[in-house]
Amino acid sequence: MVYLKTDDEVELLRKANLLVGDTLAELAKVIAPGVTTKQLDKIAYTFICDHGAVPTFLGFPNPYGEPFPASICTSVNHQVVHGIPNDTPLREGDIVSIDCGTKLNGYCGDSCYTFAVGEISEEILKLLTTTKESLYKAIEQAVVGHRLGDISNAVQTHCEAQGYGVVRQFVGHGIGKEMHEDPQIPNYGRRGNGMLLKNGLCIAIEPMITMGTKEIFMQEDRWGIVTRDKKPAAHFEHSICVRKDKADVLSSFEKIEKVLREKSL
């Protein structure tokens, strides 16, 4: 069942999503070689709770009924999604996708950003740039009167034109009082296909793009998803609301990218 959101609900969703952006910005301040993803998870948990919210990922069950043991997903290099934070230090040249969710005043926020750890190669930087570009191209399609396939196709065509793989098995989703609501938002599809987009539809769009093959498999922990060819993957996500002329982006990368610019000076 697809639920369209009222203006008041959209504002509650915005607050939860902006908190996600603020949390990711806090993590951006400390991401560096030698830092562990478990340290990042502790920072995220404290920051979210200190702002009156709860981390929605913590305890969220996988298909086997096993609860996720952390507040953020930290997927390093060839991990695509759902990486569990651990004690392995990040290294110069790594990338880490940090997916974060909050629940604030009964509504959910969900956003993801892929970070460079120190200096990364031009090849990997291009992967990150293209993946983020595809997210914004998809958002441009999220307007009243378009169809879900228009969003999906925007991601697929932009990334495949650069020779990248588009993950099929994991998709974006509706968002509201629950973190995952209908409809599903694939990152591949045909223009003009799928559900008609209506005003007030709130969805999370999240391209998951690989440098090589789109083939993936699950790690032994039954959470982490990795590329079969062990080539890097990138993941960016915004939660948005469909509107008449231009989508309303509820999450934000603004503070994250301000921190990253200041660190590069």
* pTM of the full structure: 0.97
E strand or H helix that includes residue 9: helix 7-30
Q: What residues form DSSP beta bridges with 74? A: 98
Burial 75-85 (b: 16+ CB within 10 A, else e): bbbbbbbbbbb
Per cent of the chain over pLDDT 70 is: 100
Q: Determine the pLDDT at residue 262.
A: 97
- With cut-offs at 50, 70 and 90, classify the pLDDT of residue 265: confident
Give residue 133's region: left, alpha or beta (phi > 0; psi -120 to 50): alpha
User: How is 147-192 classified by DSSP, letter by letter?
Assistant: BHHHHHHHHHHHHHTTT-EE-SS--EEE-SSSSSEEEEE-S---TT
- With cut-offs at 50, 70 and 90, classify the pLDDT of residue 105: very high
Token digits for 139? 């958002």
pLDDT digits (tens, 9 = 90+) for 9-39: 999 999 999 999 999 999 999 999 999 999 9
Average pLDDT, the chain: 98
**Mean pLDDT value of segment 179-205:** 98
- With cut-offs at 50, 70 and 90, classify the pLDDT of residue 177: very high
Token digits for 130? 């293209």
Q: What residues form DSSP beta bridges with 174? A: 181, 203
Spell out the domains of the chain, with CATH numbers in brackets.
7-264 (3.90.230.10)
Q: Determine the pLDDT at residue 27.
A: 98
Flag whether pLDDT at 91 surpasses 90. yes
Decide: 71 and 37 in contact? Cβ < 8 Å. Answer: no
Angle at 158 between CA 153 and CA 163, to 5 degrees: 120
pLDDT digits (tens, 9 = 90+) for 124-135: 999 999 999 999
Q: Determine the pLDDT at residue 161.
A: 98
